[in-house]
Structure 1
Amino acid sequence: MGRSGSGKTTLTKLIQGLYPVQEGLVRFDGIDAREIDLSHLRRQIGVVLQENFLFRGSIRDNLTITKPDASIEEIVAAAQAAGADEFIERMPQGYDTLLEENASNLSGGQKQRLSIARSLLAKPNILILDEAASALDPESEAIFIRNLSRIAVGRTVMMISHRLSTLINADVVLVMQNGRLSDWGTHTQLLSRCQTYQHLWNQQTGHL
């Protein structure tokens, strides 16, 4: 977490190999990222952004763009993990329901859950959620938080968020400031010692 321009997204782009590392090292399981084939690395990483492109076509077609040969069992499992199955099953034709251009017939929360399911279908070892919850209404955010434990099974999840409520159960929260890591710890630890974290938490929860 951190204020706009603090370096959060830059850090995730370094992990994806989109920016060259100019100082220090990026390691995956102890291996220098420079020693890993870039195309192989990127196949291990899924990314969900604040705005994700969904095209005119069926829900199934939109999901399987990351894995065209996916079985229906795999598609359903990914949708369940993302919490998307709840609304897909209520659609007129289920997974074969036609989406309008940019999925204009879905809510923001539904679009986001589809985008997460699409990333999960590729079975990434690392999943980056870049402000993935920022446009969600309170009900959709609650569903998103509830499903995070399922989404994280068997993989590393990195989540950039201004909403600290989505980070409460994270193993580690990194606090970015002016392009540097200024502190890290659990929600409870940071709330007791990090002024930046305390200030934002109090702003969002209405505490004085």
Structure 2
Amino acid sequence: VRQHGTEYAHALEASRAHAQGTGAILAHSYDNRLVAAGAGTLLCEVAGQLPGLDTVVVAVGGGGLFAGTAAAADHLGVRTVAAEPANSRALNAALRAGEVVDVPVDSVAGDSLGAHRVSADALAWAQAGDVRSVLADDAAIVAARRLLWHDHRIVVEHGAATALAALTSGAYRPVEGEKLCVVLCGANTDPSDLADGAL
């Protein structure tokens, strides 16, 4: 494993140079239809376990997991709620602009959801399907992560907690009887800050 830079764009640039120099295959972490399709299979499994599923809530960074999930959701007749940090909102900004745009990243969830731009496929699925784009602020994300630990003993990164924060903050309000699933993606985190008394 080689680390380059402080954000995904830096690592991607280094990966491209490495692939070009060595002949290695470049596998983009989110702007890749095969990666997105593979990620989307999770919703097929969930729908098999939760008949009558109405809505899936999924965190969005660059859009790979979202694009695959939204594609599967469209096929299954399930609504997708795309949850992003308020200060790292590549999909939300692209939807507002009608095209992929660059956004600044300044969020507690930036290490996993900190893409400066969303994939074109993610934008296309957000525009085509039954998709709602919502934003959660960092305080709501931190609170949702703590709730998962304190109430359920589930340790997740802030990016994963963003999906739950969409609900706990009221950014998305399900109607009575709406059957939903929250995707808790990623566990790349330091659990030490979840201890009682930690920041």
TM-score higher than 0.5 here?
no
Shorter-chain TM-score tier: under 0.3
Structure of higher RCO (CA pairs closer than 8 Å, 6+ residues apart): 1
TM-score, normalised relative to structure 2: 0.27
TM-score, normalised relative to structure 1: 0.26
* Higher share of residues assigned strand: 1
Structure number with greater Rg is 1
